[in-house]
């Protein structure tokens, strides 16, 4: 029995190359969960086959800028002339339905979310060491040596932001990491600050 | 990979009659855990078959009182002329070995532990409602109507102490409650305040 029926906003972040996407995928492949992945909003035109509300919410630049000015994004960024953001109202709708909304975002975006969503759960995925991160980037084989050097420098700046998160999860093994995140979600639902109101209400009504 | 190898002190408490003992038993019957049950110290003489260090640590009254004056108990109480307490040093030894030490104690004792062990995890077990607690006491059949009335009054005073705990777990189903406690233990090991030092050390050494 869950005392609070509302879903949690789960922010999964961590240094570039740590394997956030793989951990998130393993998480969604687990059984018995109410996780959904947050759908981003963008001003970029849909590609063939992309469905509005599924792949992205497609909006005009005017609409996007209006939403920014109204504070309607959990986080947003501009990337090669297009805007991308996480729409606050859509996330709230899903949370009210009891869904656990997962955001897998870069460290910069996560710190923006922190400002807007105080009760979200912030999870920082880290490699089992700097060398492990370096080895993973080499093994992935998608980056030039120059790019790998840049990523490692960026990771160095991001590592020290760990203290801004609620949890630090080591991605030594992707299933272990996903398991631990699932435990965090279960545990967070029982945290006193999330349950005390429902609990007091239950006592009164009984 | 756990960033912190130290065990956690888990304090399981809740109103009288809520089924703390049953939940704790279900917890220990789960697989793959490092849980141990804290052994109490007492001045009461051993009963036939009781083993020192297993059932209790048996000590003299002088030794017990000396330990109280030295602040060497996480909590202690006197009960019909004998003293009972949780020895701090024994608990610390086990935590250092990576054991998760479980204390299943009354609300009063738990609040004493809160003073001494700031980093312990405090879990408040609650019934799915007042009526459910009443029904359980009746069904248990060990208490007189007068005693049940007293227990319900005590529970009323204890219910409102829920906010002093880190987690509120509803004992609607004993295995659900045990599962949730196990998730809490896993999650707590990843909490930033418990992992940040080990994580920073790992980065430096790498």
**Segments in chain A forming alpha helices (H):** 20-28, 61-69, 88-96, 107-116, 130-140, 145-159, 174-190, 192-205
CB contact under 8 A, A162 and B196: yes
Mean pLDDT of B118-124: 94
The partner residue sitting opposite B186, judged by closest CB among A124, A173, A183, is: A183
Confidence check: pLDDT of A141 > 90: no
B125-142 confidence digits (pLDDT tens): 999 888 888 888 888 888
* Chain B residues contacting A via beta carbons under 8 Å: 1-3, 123-124, 126, 128-132, 159, 162-163, 165-170, 172-173, 176, 179-180, 182-184, 186-188, 190-192, 195-196, 199-200, 202-203, 206
Q: Rounded distance, CA A56 to CA B161, Å? A: 46
Q: In the predicted model, what is the mean pLDDT of residues A57-76?
A: 96
Mean pLDDT score of chain A? 91
Contacts of A158 in chain B (CB under 8 A): none
pLDDT digits (tens, 9 = 90+) for A149-163: 988 888 888 888 999
CB contact under 8 A, B191 and A1: no
Q: How many CB pairs under 8 A join A and B?
A: 107
Q: In whole angstroms, give the CA distance from residue A39 to residue B87.
A: 53
Task: Tell me: pLDDT of B108 over 90.
Answer: no
Is residue A47 very low, low, confident or very high in pLDDT (cuts 50, 70, 90)? very high
Average pLDDT over residues B164-171: 95
pLDDT reported for residue B36:
94
Nearest in space to A39 (alpha carbons), one of A79, A82, A94: A94
Residues B14, B126: contact at Cβ < 8 Å? Answer: yes
Which pLDDT band holds residue A164 (cuts at 50, 70, 90)?
very high
Q: Bridge-partner residues for A124, per DSSP? A: A13, A168
- What pLDDT is attached to residue A190? 95
The answer to whether residue B102 scores a pLDDT higher than 90 is: yes
Cβ pair B188:A187 closer than 8 A: yes
Q: How far is CA A176 from the centre of its chain?
A: 18
Nearest CA in chain B to A172: B1
Nearest CA in chain B to A2: B170
- Number of other residues whose CB lies within 10 A of the CB of residue B66: 12
pLDDT in tens, B37-87: 999 999 999 999 999 999 999 999 999 999 999 999 999 999 889 999 999
A100, A187, A191, A198: best to mutate for the B interface, most B CBs within 10 A: A187
CB contact (8 A) between residue B168 and residue A192:
yes
The pLDDT of residue A118? 87
The count of C-alpha atoms lying within 13 angstroms of the C-alpha of B183, restricted to the half-sphere facing its C-beta, is 22
What is the Cα–Cα distance from A3 to B126, expressed in whole angstroms?
11
The C-alpha atoms of residue A206 and residue A65 are separated, in whole angstroms, by 49
Q: Is pLDDT above 90 for B160?
A: no
Q: How far apart are CA A130 and CA A136, in angstroms?
A: 10
Mean pLDDT, chain B, whole residue set: 91
Chain A CB contacts of B172 under 8 Å are: 1
Hey, which bits of B80-154 come out as E strands? 82-87, 100-104, 121-126
Q: What is the ipTM of this complex?
A: 0.88
**E strands, A28-104, where?**
35-37, 41-42, 57-58, 73-79, 82-87, 100-104
Identify the three-state secondary structure at position A110. helix
For chain B, the domains span 9-38+99-205
- The pair of three-digit structure tokens given for residue A195, joined into one six-digit string: 């349950």
What mean pLDDT comes out for the span B87-106? 93
> What are the structure tokens assigned to B54, written together?
């297993």
* pLDDT above 90 (res A35): yes
Residues in B closer than 8 angstroms to A173, CB to CB, are 1
Average pLDDT over residues A67-93: 93
Residues A162, B199: C-beta atoms closer than 8 Å: yes
CB A122: neighbour CB atoms within 10 A? Answer: 21
Could you tell me whether strands B57-58 and B41-42 are parallel, antiparallel, or unpaired per DSSP bridges?
parallel
B169, closest residue in chain A (CA to CA):
A190
Nearest by Cα to A187 from A102, A121, A128: A121
Q: What is the distance in angstroms between the Cα of B124 and the nearest Cα belonging to chain A? A: 9
**CB-based contact B124 A192, cutoff 8 Å:** yes
Using the beta-carbon criterion (under 8 Å), do A187 and B184 form an inter-chain contact?
A: yes
Kindly list the residues from chain A whose CB atom is less than 8 angstroms away from the CB atom of residue B190: 123, 167-169, 180, 184
Question: Does residue A205 surpass a pLDDT of 80?
Answer: no
Residue of chain A nearest B187, judged by CA positions? A184
Number of other CB atoms surrounding residue A97 within 10 Å = 13
Question: How far is residue A180's CA from residue A173's CA, in Å, rounded to a whole number?
Answer: 11
B9-38+99-205 is classed in which CATH architecture? 3-Layer(aba) Sandwich (3.40)
Would you state the pLDDT for residue B195?
A: 92
Q: For residue A7, what are the contacts with CB-CB under 8 A and spacing of at least 6?
A: A34, A94, A95, A96, A97, A98, A99, A100, A101
Residue A143 has a pLDDT of 84
Tell me which chain B residues have a C-beta less than 8 angstroms from the C-beta of A186: 179-180, 183-184, 187
Contact between A81 and A114 under an 8 Å Cβ cutoff? The reply is no
């Amino acid at each position: 029995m869950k005392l609070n029926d509302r879903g949690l906003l789960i922010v999964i972040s961590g240094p570039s190359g740590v394997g956030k996407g793989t951990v998130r995928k393993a998480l969604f492949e687990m059984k018995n969960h109410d996780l959904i992945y947050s759908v981003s909003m963008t001003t970029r035109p849909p590609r063939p086959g992309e469905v509005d509300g599924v792949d992205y919410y497609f909006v005009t630049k005017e609409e996007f800028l209006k939403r920014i000015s109204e504070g309607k994004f959990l986080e947003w960024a501009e990337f090669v002339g297009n805007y991308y953001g996480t729409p606050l109202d859509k996330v709230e709708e899903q949370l009210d339905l009891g869904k656990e909304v997962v955001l897998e975002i870069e460290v910069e975006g996560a710190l923006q979310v922190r400002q807007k969503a105080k009760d979200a759960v912030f999870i920082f995925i880290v490699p089992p060491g700097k060398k492990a991160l370096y080895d993973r980037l080499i093994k992935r084989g998608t980056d030039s040596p120059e790019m790998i050097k840049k990523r490692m420098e960026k990771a160095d700046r991001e590592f020290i932001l760990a203290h801004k998160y609620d949890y630090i999860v080591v991605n030594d093994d992707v299933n272990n990491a996903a398991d631990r995140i699932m435990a965090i979600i279960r545990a967070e639902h029982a945290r006193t600050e999330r349950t005390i109101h429902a609990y007091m209400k239950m006592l009164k009504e009984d």
